[in-house]
C-alpha cells in the first residue's frame, strides 16, 4: 500500500477553516460518544528552556483511522540559530484495519487550524447569541487562528487585544485589520481588554495568570487555550468557582487543563461536562444569559485524527502529494 507525503504548502492549499470546524465537531462527538481510544498524551521537556515536544495518539473506531502526532514548541531561538520556526508538527495517519501508514503530513498547520476550530465550536455552542465583541489575551499565531475560526460562526464587531509584547500587539493589529477589515483596539492591560468583551480568548504560553476574578462581565464566554500541561495556568482559580466549565476531555483537563488548579484549591469538584456531551445534547452548554462559561481546551488527538483524515481525502480527490512505498521489494 502506497503512503502519501504532504508538505506544509500542500496542506496549506487543501485546508479550509469551515471544513476543519466540522471535523472538530465530529471529533468531540466521537470522543464523548465512546468511539475513541485516546491514551494520555506524552509531553517531553527539552534541555532548551521552555521547549517541549508532545506526542498524541488516537484510534477512531468508526472510520478505522489512527493518528500519531509529534508537535514541538517553545524553541524561541530556532529562527536565528537554525532558520526554523519555533514550533513544528508531523502527523502520521494509519489504516486501523491493516496497520498500514496511509499518510505522513505536516502537522503545524493542522494543529493551528484544529485548535482554532475548537474555540469556534465552543463559541457556537456556549456564547450568548448576541455576542459580538472579542477580547484576545495573547497575540501570537494561535490568536490569529482563533479569530479566523470564530468569525466563521459569529459576526465580530471589534477586537480588544492585549499581549506582553508591544511589537507583537502592533503586528496583530496590522495583520487582523488587513486580513478581515475588523477594528483591533490595543489595550493597556488584560483587564482593560476584557472589560467590555462578550467573548475572551486566552492564547498565551500559560507561564503566569493573565485573567483575575472580577474582571469579566456577566455572560462572558472564555476560550482558554494556553493551559495544556501540569503547572501551566492562565486563569485565576476563583474565576472557575461560579462559572460553567466545559472541557474537551474531562480526564485530560483535570490533569492538564485550567480546572486542575481550581480542583486543587477546592473551589470546584470537576468540570460540568465535555464539549461532545453538549454537542450530542446530553448536557447543556450555557444555562443562563448572565452565566460565565469557560471552555477548557487542552487539545485532543481525535481532533488530529479527524482533521488529518479530512486532509487526506481532499488530497486524494485532488491528486496532490507524493507517494512512496515503505514495503516495496528491492530488485
Residues labelled catalytic: 69
Query: Residue 300: phi, psi to the nearest 5?
Result: -125, 145
Residues comprising the chain, all counted: 331
Are 164 and 184 contacting, i.e. CB atoms less than 8 angstroms apart?
no
**E strand or H helix that includes residue 200:** strand 199-202
Handedness of CA 68, 13, 19, 317 (dihedral sign): negative
CA distance linking residue 37 with residue 153, whole number of Å:
29
- Residue 219 neighbours by CB under 8 Å, 6+ apart: 128, 198, 289, 290, 291, 292
The DSSP string of 1-41 is: --EEEE-HHHHHHH--HHHHHHHHHHHHHHHHTT-EE-PPP
- Residue 180 neighbours by CB under 8 Å, 6+ apart: 147, 151, 156
**For the chain, what is the largest distance between any 2 Cα atoms, rounded to a whole number of angstroms?**
71
- Residue 276 neighbours by CB under 8 Å, 6+ apart: 28, 29, 30, 31, 32, 33
- Residue 327 neighbours by CB under 8 Å, 6+ apart: 1
Residue 221, helix vs strand vs coil: strand
Amino acid at each position: 500500500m502506497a503512503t502519501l507525503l504532504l508538505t506544509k504548502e500542500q496542506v496549506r492549499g487543501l485546508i479550509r477553516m469551515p471544513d476543519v470546524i466540522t471535523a472538530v465537531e465530529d471529533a468531540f462527538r466521537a470522543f464523548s460518544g465512546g468511539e475513541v481510544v485516546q491514551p494520555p498524551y506524552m509531553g517531553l521537556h527539552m534541555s532548551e528552556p521552555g521547549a517541549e515536544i508532545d506526542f498524541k495518539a488516537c484510534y477512531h473506531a468508526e472510520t478505522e483511522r489512527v493518528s500519531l502526532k509529534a508537535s514541538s514548541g517553545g524553541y524561541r531561538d530556532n529562527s536565528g540559530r537554525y532558520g526554523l520556526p519555533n514550533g513544528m508538527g508531523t502527523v502520521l495517519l494509519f489504516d486501523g484495519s491493516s496497520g498500514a501508514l496511509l499518510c505522513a503530513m505536516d502537522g503545524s498547520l493542522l494543529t493551528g487550524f484544529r485548535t482554532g476550530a475548537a474555540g469556534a465550536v465552543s463559541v457556537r455552542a456556549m456564547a450568548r447569541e448576541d455576542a459580538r465583541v472579542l477580547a484576545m489575551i495573547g497575540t501570537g499565531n494561535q490568536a490569529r487562528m482563533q479569530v479566523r475560526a470564530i468569525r466563521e460562526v459569529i459576526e465580530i464587531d471589534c477586537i480588544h487585544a492585549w499581549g506582553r509584547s508591544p511589537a507583537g500587539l502592533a503586528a496583530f493589529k496590522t495583520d487582523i485589520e488587513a486580513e478581515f477589515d475588523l477594528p483591533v483596539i490595543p489595550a493597556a492591560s488584560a483587564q482593560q481588554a476584557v472589560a467590555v468583551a462578550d467573548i475572551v480568548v486566552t492564547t498565551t504560553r500559560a507561564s503566569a495568570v493573565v485573567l483575575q476574578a472580577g474582571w469579566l462581565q456577566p455572560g462572558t464566554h472564555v476560550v482558554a487555550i494556553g493551559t495544556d500541561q501540569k503547572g501551566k495556568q492562565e486563569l485565576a482559580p476563583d474565576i472557575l468557582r461560579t462559572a460553567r466549565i466545559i472541557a474537551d476531555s474531562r480526564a485530560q483537563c483535570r490533569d492538564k487543563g485550567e480546572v486542575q488548579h481550581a480542583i486543587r484549591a477546592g473551589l470546584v469538584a470537576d468540570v460540568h461536562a465535555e464539549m461532545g456531551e453538549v454537542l450530542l445534547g446530553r448536557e447543556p452548554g450555557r444555562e443562563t444569559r448572565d452565566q460565565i462559561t469557560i471552555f477548557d481546551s487542552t487539545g485532543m488527538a481525535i481532533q488530529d485524527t479527524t482533521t488529518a483524515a479530512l486532509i487526506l481525502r481532499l488530497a486524494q480527490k485532488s491528486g496532490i502529494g507524493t507517494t512512496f512505498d515503505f514495503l516495496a521489494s528491492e530488485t
